[in-house]
Structure 1
Amino acid sequence: MPGPSDPASGPQPPRPQLAVSAAIFREGKVLLVRRARSPAKGFYSLPGGRVEFGESLHAALHREVDEETSLKIEILGLAGWREVLPQAAGSGHYIILSFAARWVDREPHLNEEHDDFQWLAPEEIGSLKLTGGLEEIVAAARKLVVG
């Protein structure tokens, strides 16, 4: 699962933070992005990040996907969630809601948070270094995409 956008950018609040991610499907393949920063540097995950105060979940997801990949998406539904607990001093506590989405327009152009992307069939992702729980979220999202 994705880590929120640059959580190492400052001290972490003493409460859980809400984040969103998108399992974006295009022609049967899902988009995975490789994190270029800690936490989870070098791991493939889903694009996403923190929900800002007063922002709806869908608005946050559209914003984060646009910022991180430049893609335009159609959100289909909630695929699952994951809780990330603090592992070390200074790391955050996150609740990540992961949505199934369909690619609509544009080609991926990554921001500085990621250094690689791949469109892969869900059965191909297991060979990559993945963030925890990613395969389960992709499987649940695939069911929402194919109906």
Structure 2
Amino acid sequence: MAPVVQPSHPQLAVSAAIFRDGKVLLVRRARSPAKGFYSLPGGRVEFGESLHQALTREVDEETGLAIEIVGLAGWREVLPSSGVAGHYLIMSFAARWTAGEPVLNEELDDFRWLAPDALGGLGELKLTGGLDDLIQSAKRLIGP
């Protein structure tokens, strides 16, 4: 098997904090990067694709859900380290669930709808860095 060649420049990605009935969707990554960690659904932006187009496509591909994008909740930069080979800039959006039930693709192996305020007390779940702050920011955009 040939080694994976990493790009020589940062990769742009998107993610969605999807809210339904007061809960947010977390998904567990089934492969690298972030294998075994719970995070938000999302992925890389393709050339010529807007951020919103990429987010809608990635959420559909990974979960089968339809969403309404509310706004930009924040961003996170992931630099190359011992656990991650690539360099990513992830734009994270707040979104509302509009249709469908989660049907995960091969990139994910679990999902949970969780109360946003309970994330800090979920020590048994491995969460990606900065996830709680992004979800709280997204929750403010979604409103009551």
| TM-score, length-scaled by structure 2 | 0.92
Instruction: Give the secondary structure class of the aligned counterpart of 2:61.
Output: helix
CA distance in 2, matches of 1:68, 1:83: 21
Unaligned runs of 5+ in 2: none
Which whole-Å CA distance do the structure 2 matches of 1:122 and 1:10 have between them? Answer: 36
Aligned to 1:48: 42
Give the structure 2 partner of residue 137 of structure 1: 134
- 2:100 aligned residue: 106
* Counterparts of 1:90 and 1:23, CA distance in 2: 22
Q: Is the 8 A contact 2:29 2:39 kept in 1?
A: yes
Q: Which runs of 4+ in 1 moved over 4 A?
A: none
Q: Percent identity?
A: 72
Instruction: Report the equivalent of 2:59.
Output: 65
Checking the alignment, whether the CA contact within 8 Å between 2:34 and 2:84 is kept in structure 1 is no
CA distance in 1, matches of 2:119, 2:34: 16
RMSD: 1.5
Gaps of 5+ in 1: 1-8
Corresponding residue pairs, total: 139
* Superposition map of 1:1-147 within 5 A: 10-88=4-82, 91-126=85-120, 127=122, 128-146=125-143
Aligned partner of 2:132: which letter?
Answer: E
State which structure, 1 or 2, has the greater radius of gyration over its C-alpha atoms. 2
C-alpha displacement at 1:133, in angstroms?
Answer: 0.4
- Deviation, 1:10, is 3.2
Deviation per CA, 1:17-58: give whole Å up to 9, x if none. Answer: 100000000011000001111221111000000000000000
* Deviation by residue 1:53-105 (Cα, 9 ceiling, x = unmatched): 00000000000000000000000000000000001498110000000000000
Q: Secondary structure at the match of 1:40?
A: coil
Structure 1 length normalisation: TM-score?
Answer: 0.91
Amino acid at match of 1:121: A
